Amino acid sequence: MKNLIQIIEDDTSVRKLLEITFKEYEFNFVSSENKKNAMIMFLSHNPDLVIVDLGLPDGDGKEFIKHIREISKIPVIVLTARHDEKEIIAALDVGADDYITKPFSVNELLARIRANLRRNINEETLSDKIVCNDLQMDIAARDIFFKGEKLKLTPIEFELLKYFLLHTNKTLTHQQILNAVWGTGYQNEMQYLRTYVNTLRKKIEENSTRPIYIKTESGIGYRFSCSGN
Binding footprint of Ca ion on the chain (CB under 5 A): 10, 53, 55
Nearest to Ca ion of 55, 95 (CB atom): 55
Nearest to Ca ion of 42, 196 (CB atom): 42
Residue 154 CA to its chain's centroid (Å): 26
Closest separation in Å from C-beta 162 to Ca ion: 37
Type and span of the H or E element at 22: helix 12-24
Nearest to Ca ion of 15, 119 (CB atom): 15
Which among 67, 135, 57 has a CA at the least distance from the CA of 96? 67
Closest separation in Å from C-beta 95 to Ca ion: 19
Q: For residues 10 and 128, give the distance between their C-alpha atoms in angstroms, rounded to a whole number.
A: 43
Nearest to Ca ion of 21, 175 (CB atom): 21
In order of 152, 169, 186, the CA distances from 202 in angstroms are 12, 20, 24
Percent helix, strand and coil across the chain, each to the nearest 5: 40, 25, 35
**Rounded-to-10 torsion of CA 117, 121, 123, 128:** -140
Before 155, cis peptide (omega within 30)?
Answer: no
Closest separation in Å from C-beta 67 to Ca ion: 18
Closest separation in Å from C-beta 56 to Ca ion: 6
Contact 97, 115 (CB under 8 A): no
